[in-house]
Amino acid sequence: MRWPKGLTGLCYGGDYNPEQWPAELWPEDVALMRRARVTLVTVGVFAWSRLEPEPGRYDFDWLDRVLDLLHAGGIRVALATPTAAPPPWFSLRHPDALPVTADGVRLSHGSRDTYCASAPAYRAAARRIATALAQRYADHPALALWHVHNEYGTTCHCEYVAAAFRRWLRERYGGLDALNDAWTTSFWSQHYTDWEQIRTPVATRYLGNPGQLLDFRRFVSDELLGAYLEQRDLLRAATPEVPVTTNYVLGDWVPVDHARWSAEVDLVAIDHYPSESGPGAEEQTAFAADLARCWARRSPGGPAWLLMESAPNLILTPGRMHAKEPGRLLRHSLAHVARGSRGAMFFQWRASRGGAELFHSALLPHAGPESRTFREAVALGESLTRLAEVDAGTVAARVAIAWDASCRWAMQATVLPSASLDYAAEVAAAHRALWRAGYPCDLVIPGDDLSGYALLVLPALYLVSDRYADQVRGYVAGGGHLVVGYLSGIADEYGRVRPGGYPGAFRDLLGIRVEEFHPLDPAERVPLADGTTGRLWSEPVRLAGATVVTTYAGGTVAGRPAVTRHDHGAGVAWYVSTRLDDDAYRDLLRRAAERAGVAPACPAAPPGVEAVRRGDGAGRSWLFLLNHTATTQTVPAAGTDLLTGGHLDPVTLPPGGCAVLREDGAAG
């Protein structure tokens, strides 16, 4: 396992941007970091203009001092390459390396991420600054980890990108005939007769081509990966013993297939900022952490991963920032650690006085160390040191949900029967339902081994290859339990509809046939015969071997099956043709899980108490219990609470309280 050099136990810290502060303040930073038991900080992530104030003239003196101070304080460094924010001189010198929007507007510097990742001048400058950093700091004793760039996810529509896209397409399709066929270019006279005719999906008169859009997103993911690999390889060559990573950003605008990238990072690192403040934040946190954990299995550093950035308090969201109430800092951090994160890192250490994110929270807020946030930061540091032993364990799940970046991108084309359909929201709804029912679950991508799962859920798996459909069929035939959501199996891997009736690839497996869709208005609810409701979507399902679980009791498809079940081989396949309300979805997945013989992590945990178990596979296990409710809760579980050192049986959690039990009865 490759892990930040010289670090044991859990990591704690965050982005440290000393270039924003006078040098006289740096010793105080280090002293306060020590007080908070910070172990790792990311340095230099947006410091390009300070590191290379003029082309080819480097100023490393200040960074030398910072790294020396940190080292003297026993704090290790994730040294970043600053390539997400080229200096103004760079864009003035290389206007061709500035990004172009889909509307043809060339952007200018003044923010961050304003570069074209395919522009030769940008790539060369990025390699140069990364090489200079590697040469300067290869032997620095504080260096624990290379942090390449920041949150890869930009797109551009300039001529460099168009040329790179064409090269990517030639490699994928070989010939234009195959591309024309995959993109159905016979529709609206788009037949290509020369590769040079192909553009990126720029602004056009009316709806664009969904096949082109899908391939463009796949291409951007590969292109950005190429930019990362260039830096990774030169850093690896300079310091083979120092792992290299980049921090993933999650969001529907990000054209990055993180699952596939994960084979190329030495450890998976994510940034996570829930967009909600209530219980939705807990659900989003669990979802993101489960994704990261499953991506990490593909990485040489896996199954461990790292929460690289999160917000200590106020989160920068459009409209209104929301604050973390007392206690949530620890609870949120533990929710990540419970799912395998080797620590909790934050954006950022000291709150900025100016710049675009001056009101984004920090471990050391504007108010200084005499503040609630800093006190909680100190307490978190102490808690994390007490949890070092959990590092040995990981979560074992017998339930999995399918996740596929291509599917998400295919559904982002504005050509679906309803604008309310959102792939990530569908997957999140399934995850939320299982989270509420207390089942730990994995996120699997096409091709992942399914043999360890008793239950597999495919929410809106719109696009599916023949190969994956066969794999899923084999899984059920072999005894697996499957729940398929509406809008699954519809299209092939190019995004073309599979003819013969929906849900295309899964018709036979599900024992049903659907001839048409009846999308619902966003505000519309349709009653089901079992007293629950559906929304967003409805379909007149016809049985072709399946049995009815419940039917539509209203709407345009009243009387037709809404949920079905079909035995296939040794397994069973359910179909859900509408978006069930949250409670009904939870109950349905619980039924399916019970039938599949799977139990929740802590069956007796009351609603609102999250229970996640990390086990080391050799008899030791740790049960994380997080009380997300505003009332005291009691959980019938027993063990030593690592947070307090006390033995608990049962566990009584105050409102918002947490416990991490080394479980009784476990070897150890």
Is residue 309 a contact residue for ligand GLA (CB under 6 A)? Answer: yes
Kindly state the smallest distance separating residue 42's Cβ from ligand GLA, in Å. Answer: 9
Q: Which of residues 404-433 bind ligand GLA (CB under 6 A)?
A: none
* Rounded Cα distance, 631 and 664, in Å: 26
In single-letter form, the type of residue at position 359 comes to: F
In which order are the strands placed within the sheet that holds 11-16?
244-245, 143-147, 76-80, 40-43, 11-16, 341-346, 305-309, 268-271, 247-249
Interface with ligand GLA includes 473 (CB under 6 A)? Answer: no
248 binds ligand GLA (CB under 6 A): no
469 residue type, one letter: A
Amino acid at 451: S
Residues 492-511 within binding reach of ligand GLA (CB under 6 A)? none
138 Cβ contact list (under 8 Å, min separation 6): 238, 239
- Smallest CA-to-CA distance from 577 within 637, 521, 516, 661 is with 516
532 binds ligand GLA (CB under 6 A): no
For the chain, the residue count is 668
Helix/strand/coil for 504: helix
Closest CA to 399 of 592, 579, 549, 582: 592
Q: Contact with ligand GLA (CB under 6 A): which of 17, 42, 150, 313?
A: 150
Q: Which is nearer to ligand GLA, 360 or 579 (CB)?
A: 360
* Both structure tokens of 178: 């195959």
User: Using CB under 6 A, which of 54, 64, 325, 357 touches ligand GLA?
Assistant: 357
Provide the minimum distance between the beta carbon of 73 and ligand GLA in the complex, in angstroms, as a whole number.
Answer: 23
Shortest Cβ 309–ligand GLA spacing (Å): 4
Query: Which residue, 271 or 426, has its beta carbon nearer to ligand GLA?
Result: 271
Residue corresponding to tokens 């967003």: 536
Cβ nearer to ligand GLA, comparing 151 with 391:
151
Min dist CB 611 to ligand GLA, Å, is: 29
Who's near 167: CB < 8 A, 6+ residues apart? none
539 touching ligand GLA, by CB under 6 A? no
Q: Identify whether 151 is a catalytic site residue.
A: yes
Closest CA to 23 of 49, 73, 62: 62
The yes or no reply on residue 151 touching ligand GLA (CB under 6 A) is yes
Closest CA relative to residue 219, chosen from 155, 129, 275, 314: 155
Does 216 interact with ligand GLA (rule: CB under 6 A)? no
Tokens standing for residue 304: 């461990």
CB of 339 to ligand GLA, least distance (A): 19
Q: Binding to ligand GLA by residue 453, rule CB under 6 A?
A: no
Q: Which of 309, 376, 493, 539 is catalytic?
A: 309
Rg over alpha carbons for the chain, rounded to the nearest Å, is: 26
347 binds ligand GLA (CB under 6 A): yes
Q: Does 550 bind ligand GLA (CB under 6 A)?
A: no
Q: How far is the CB of 247 from ligand GLA (least distance, A)?
A: 6
Q: Any contact of residue 245 with ligand GLA (CB under 6 A)?
A: no
How far apart are alpha carbons 48 and 58 in whole angstroms?
10
Assess 322 for contact with ligand GLA (CB under 6 A).
Answer: no
Residue 79 near residue 44, CB atoms below 8 Å: yes
Is position 493 annotated as part of the catalytic site? no
Window 563 to 582, contacts with ligand GLA (CB under 6 A): none
Residue 316 binding ligand GLA, by CB under 6 A: yes
Q: In whole angstroms, how close is the CB of 495 to ligand GLA at the nearest point?
A: 31
Nearer to ligand GLA, 185 or 348 (CB): 348
Q: Does 154 bind ligand GLA (CB under 6 A)?
A: no
Per annotation, catalytic residue among 52, 151, 223, 283: 151
Report if residue 14 touches ligand GLA, rule: CB under 6 A. no
- Does 271 contact ligand GLA by CB under 6 A? yes
The binder of ligand GLA chosen from 297, 328, 360, 513 (CB under 6 A):
360
Name the DSSP letter for residue 57: B
Angle subtended at Cα 129 by Cα 125 and Cα 131, rounded to the nearest 5 degrees: 115
Residues 6+ apart with CB under 8 A from 85: 46, 48, 49, 112, 113, 150
Considering the rule CB under 6 A, would residue 641 count as an interface residue with ligand GLA? no
The answer to whether residue 196 forms part of the interface with ligand GLA (CB under 6 A) is no
Taking the C-alpha atoms of residue 264 and residue 235, their distance in angstroms, rounded to an integer, is: 13
CA atoms within 13 A on the CB side of 603: 5
> What residues are annotated to the active site?
151, 309
Question: Rule CB under 6 A: which residues touch ligand GLA?
Answer: 150-151, 271, 273, 309, 316, 347, 357, 360
